[in-house]
Amino acid sequence: MWSEKIRPTLRRQLWWLKEVYPELERCKFLFGRTAHPPRGAKETNPNVVLLSVDSMGSKHLGCYGYPRPTSPNIDRIAESGVLFENVMAQSNWTKPALASILTSLYAAVHKTDARGETGDRIDVNVRNQAHILDPRFRTMAEEFKDGSYATAGFSNGGYAHSFFGFGRGFDIYENSAGGLKSCTYRLLQWLCKNRDRPFFAWIHAWDVHFPYMDRPPFNRKFIKHRAQIVLDASVRHQINSGERVLSDEEREFLEGLYDGAISYVDELTGALVQELDRAGLFENTLLVITADHGEAFMEHGYIEHTASLHGEVTRVPLIIVGPKLPRGLRIKTQARSIDIMPTLLDLCGLAPGAEIQGTSLVSWITGGAHTDLLAASETERRGGQTAISDGSYKLIQTNAPSRLQLYHLTVDPKETNDIAVSSQGIRVAMESQLAAWKKEVLSCANRYWSDSIPVENLTVHGEVLQRLKDLGYVE
């Protein structure tokens, strides 16, 4: 078993997990008490564990070329499965991005976006109103539930809260499961009673999200000098509006905290794999590692993620490991977050029960011919922005103020050289692709929405607001 490679490096973490959560000892299949317990699930119906890590951009992982050793366990996991090198998130912030992952629809269709929450921060006069995922859009959990899967979701609320519609289709959905450590515990505890049938479990971990975890020893791992800055909502707004200049020392400090948080998540991800393996479940489980969006550190004059649709924010990891999947396969062609749901359903022998805009990537995995998929990312924040990429070129359209940016991704993957003026022919072609995409998305949206069917807009619960405040969205 490939996990033997990482077992020695995880002994300390597993001992610590046992000490923190002694209740897990009551589950006899954990921590090696039973090597291979009988399974209730059929071999032909793999389990699914979807781990989405908020704000974890692919560029900060070793398996995507990052020079710092932030992710040795995730890197080993990637070596044992399939890694998609170029995946575009469908938004630059959590609520619409997660809605697109769970429904395989663009935000312009499901409309779970900012609306009254537009801007760099949620204004005090409108923050108590928010749009939620409409019940007409089927979630991935509903699809698996209809496929006779047990379903469970674990997060710490915020924009992944069930208030926003993300709990639909789950047998159990915990909004206060805590960080990844606690979510892992709750998942393993749930599996004590729900391992007799195929299961779909989703963990959305907030540990990497700003204002960034400042927990030893991870807060010292990649930091040479500590700077006197706390990235709260007010400071973020000052930096992104140009009111405050972020020094190189401050930026390096914040990025070091961010990388340390990824390292923390990496250790816990390795521990999760280890425990699933010890339980005899990992062999028949699809493990998926992804993110809702990435994070910016002044690459384009912004920090955090809600200000732009550049690659540091829109490029996310996608790693899939599981039964009958090839090992060490790296797929270079462009894919999208909306492709996750149809791919997982396909791998489990299921088919979507509702209209989707994503594409199953199974043929890519099995060696079929494939080309770059047209990908778009959108947000209603900061006046509205849309980005579209055909894999070679990327066009970013900003509404207020009106602006077009064009990048040749093949020679300029970091999007540093705007060629919108110098390459007018390509710009016009990309504008045409953007217009066609908008027309197609509008046609899809019109099948669900009309003037007589308003987008649902509800008062946000106090506990949800408090969690959003903890995450720096609300002052």
Domain spans of the chain? Answer: 2-36+44-372
The CA-atom distances, in angstroms, between 407 and each of 192, 388, 402 are: 50, 11, 17
Write the CATH number of the domain with boundaries 2-36+44-372. Answer: 3.40.720.10
Residues pairing with 173 in the sheet: 153
**80 close to 2: Cβ distance less than 8 angstroms:** yes
**335 close to 87: Cβ distance less than 8 angstroms:** yes
Instruction: Give the length of the chain.
Output: 475
List of residues 6+ apart from 325 with CB closer than 8 A: 81, 82, 286, 347, 365
3-state SS assignment for residue 453? strand
**408 close to 415: Cβ distance less than 8 angstroms:** no
Report d(CA 173, CA 168) in Å as an integer: 8
**352 close to 105: Cβ distance less than 8 angstroms:** no
Q: Residue 364 has what pLDDT?
A: 94
- Structure-token match 């990844």, residue found: 180
Point out the residues of the chain with pLDDT beneath 70. Answer: 1-44, 114-130, 369, 451-475
Tell me the one-letter amino acid at 131.
H
- Structure-token match 């699933």, residue found: 276
The alpha-helical segments, DSSP class H, found in 65-214 are 72-79, 94-103, 107-110, 140-146, 180-191
| CA atoms lying within 13 Å on the CB side of residue 328 | 1
- pTM, full prediction: 0.88
Pairing outcome for strands 129-131 and 457-459: antiparallel
- Structure-token match 């932030």, residue found: 70
List of residues 6+ apart from 324 with CB closer than 8 A: none
Q: Residue 464 has what pLDDT?
A: 67
**269 close to 49: Cβ distance less than 8 angstroms:** no
Q: Shortest CA distance to 130 belongs to which of 167, 175, 163?
A: 163
**341 close to 140: Cβ distance less than 8 angstroms:** yes
Q: Residue 393 has what pLDDT?
A: 98
Burial class for 305, CB neighbours closer than 10 Å (0-12, 13-18, 19+): buried
| Dihedral over alpha carbons 28, 33, 35, 38 (to 10 degrees) | -20
Q: Residue 177 has what pLDDT?
A: 79
- Structure-token match 């630059």, residue found: 92
Report d(CA 324, CA 428) in Å as an integer: 44
- Structure-token match 């935000």, residue found: 107
